[in-house]
């Protein structure tokens, strides 16, 4: 395997993009990434999208996007791993360049969720249809069960969960592409509409449209481009039972701890070496559990860490400096790529007000469903 770099990035605004179609959004992000990197061609591309068939009635996404980006006949492949589809597309592109098969590959992600489909039902296709969805449960309900169980075991307070949302909205207020750029207070979270007890509106990531793309290249190509680039230090993936009821524990996500162990071993690093992390905060409880399962905090201490400011931009381990899924938005297929973009910007010193000082290693953790799939990358500044 040879070294692989991220040499350019492109992202659309996240939110309700009424004027833009599914393909427009992808093409906008991809053209920005190509221009930003300075490459004169791409050898192939991978596109992460979770449910374009249900959201906008479009399948065969690889061919559609290659056509509209004007790069056909290059190989173009759609990759799906629910909300981790973007991370999976990035990992596929990484292997293609690392193997020596291609020198320059685009990895993108896109979702158009606000065009009228039944979003909650479409998202629920990533859960267990026979044993969970049939009985009426959807994602806010699944994560609410994790939250209840976690709060019972670790005496975590509602305020501690709310602290995650407050911190992520503060970070998102400094991100020009974020869907919600308004800071919120603890009181606003605590008083927001109940969605699935104990999770309220402001504990949830929103429904979003958006696209993101990055260009991966061999180190030789990266050096010749003479633009800022970062290195991909390690990549890991894991899966777990699709249904919550089959898990040994509801308060820990095994897919995260298994993938974390692998990625740190591959990178020859420890959690304490990571400068900042983008994690999959689809609901506030997810950020708390994931930061523990990644090894940043002891089990049961993730909520307290958020409350004490340890995950703030100037804290011990800044988490979701982009605003996370909560404030930046969660166009599901694009999320994993947007996390890589935040890592690229932080590690090349381009994050403006959100910049983490002396950032050397960034970690991106992308998750599918209620934790049935997880993809983690560690990125390195050069
Ligand atoms: N965070 C902050 N504000 C939100 C929000 C969110 N997650 N979702 C909606 N809003 C705002 C809207 O902008 C709107 O504000 P306005 O009245 O000032 O225009 C208001 O809240 C109501 O919006 P609406 O679209 O009617 O909300 P909704 O009740 O249809 O949806 C949720 C709210 C939480 C149910 C929906 O965002 C959701 O399902 N989120 C989870 C998505 C998910 O499961 N993703 C996959 C994770 S695995």
The helix (H) or strand (E) run that includes residue 377 is: strand 373-381
> Is there an atom of ligand 1 within 6 Å of 263 CB?
no
Give catalytic status of residue 101 as yes or no: no
Query: Is the beta carbon of 204 within 6 A of some atom in ligand 1?
Result: yes
Domains of the chain as residue ranges with CATH: 4-118+207-230 (3.40.47.10), 130-203+231-381 (3.40.47.10)
Alpha helices in the chain (DSSP H): 22-37, 52-56, 61-69, 85-98, 119-124, 139-154, 158-172, 186-191, 219-225, 254-267, 284-293, 302-307, 324-328, 332-347
Tokens of 309: 């400011």
Q: Residue 9 burial by CB count (10 A; 0-12/13-18/19+): exposed, middle or buried?
A: buried
What's the CA-to-centroid distance between 284 and ligand 1, angstroms? 14
Mean pLDDT by 10 residues, the chain (382 residues): 97 98 98 98 98 97 98 98 98 98 98 94 97 96 98 97 98 98 98 98 98 98 98 98 97 98 98 98 98 98 98 98 98 98 98 98 98 98 98
Q: What angle do CA 87, 93, 98 make, to 5 degrees?
A: 120
Cβ of 15 closer than 6 Å to ligand 1, yes or no, is no
Give the per-residue pLDDT at 276.
99
pLDDT, position 174: 98
Q: pTM to 2 decimals?
A: 0.98
Q: Is the CB of residue 372 below 6 angstroms from any atom belonging to ligand 1?
A: no
Would you call 282 a catalytic residue per the annotation? no
By alpha-carbon position, which residue is closest to atom 22 of ligand 1?
201
What is the residue whose two structure tokens read 């990178």?
267
Return the residue whose CA atom lies nearest to atom 38 of ligand 1.
206
For residue 116, what pLDDT is reported? Answer: 82
Question: SS3 for 261?
Answer: helix
Q: Where are the alpha helices (DSSP H) in 155-300?
A: 158-172, 186-191, 219-225, 254-267, 284-293
Best of 14, 114, 143, 204 to mutate for ligand 1, by most ligand atoms within 8 A of CB? Answer: 204
pLDDT at site 117: 85
- Positive or negative CA dihedral for 81, 86, 89, 95? negative
Instruction: Give the SS3 label for residue 145.
Output: helix
Give the span between the Cα atoms of 380 and 361, in whole angstroms: 5
Choose the catalytic residue: 204, 255, 280, 330: 330
180 C-beta closer than 6 A to ligand 1: yes
pLDDT of residue 11: 98
């Amino acid at each position: 395997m040879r070294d692989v770099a991220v040499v350019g990035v492109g992202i659309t605004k996240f939110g309700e993009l009424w004027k833009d179609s599914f393909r427009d959004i992808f093409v906008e992000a991809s053209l920005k990434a190509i221009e930003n990197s300075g490459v004169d061609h791409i050898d192939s591309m991978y596109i992460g999208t979770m449910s374009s068939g249900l959201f906008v009635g479009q399948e065969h996404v690889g061919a559609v996007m290659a056509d509209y980006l004007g790069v056909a006949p290059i190989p173009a492949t759609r990759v799906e791993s629910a909300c981790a589809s973007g991370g999976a597309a990035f990992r596929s592109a990484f292997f293609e360049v690392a193997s020596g098969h291609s020198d320059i590959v685009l990895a993108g992600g896109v979702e158009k969720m606000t065009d009228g489909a039944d979003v909650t039902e479409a998202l629920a296709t990533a859960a267990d249809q026979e044993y969970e969805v049939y009985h009426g449960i959807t994602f806010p309900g699944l994560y609410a069960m994790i939250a209840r169980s976690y709060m019972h075991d670790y005496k975590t307070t509602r305020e501690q969960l709310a602290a995650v949302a407050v911190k992520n909205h503060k970070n998102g207020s400094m991100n020009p592409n974020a869907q919600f750029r308004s800071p919120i207070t603890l009181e606003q979270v605590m008083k927001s509409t109940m969605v699935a007890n104990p999770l309220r509106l402001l504990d949830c990531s929103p429904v979003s449209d958006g696209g993101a793309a990055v260009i991966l290249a061999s180190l030789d190509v990266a050096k010749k481009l003479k633009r800022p680039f970062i290195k991909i230090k390690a990549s890991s993936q894991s899966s777990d039972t699709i249904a919550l009821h089959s898990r040994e524990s509801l308060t820990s996500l095994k897919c995260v701890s298994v993938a974390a162990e692998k990625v740190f071993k591959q990178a020859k690093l420890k959690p304490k070496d990571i400068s900042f992390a983008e994690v999959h905060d689809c609901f506030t409880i997810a950020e708390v559990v994931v930061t523990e399962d990644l090894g940043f905090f002891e089990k049961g201490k993730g909520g307290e860490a958020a409350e004490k400011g340890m995950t703030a931009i100037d804290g011990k381990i800044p988490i979701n400096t982009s605003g996370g899924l909560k404030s930046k938005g969660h166009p599901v297929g694009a999320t994993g790529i947007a996390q890589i973009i935040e890592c690229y910007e932080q590690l090349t010193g381009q994050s403006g007000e959100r910049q983490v000082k002396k950032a050397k290693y960034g970690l991106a953790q992308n998750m599918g469903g209620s934790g049935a799939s997880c993809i983690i990358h560690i990125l390195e500044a050069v």
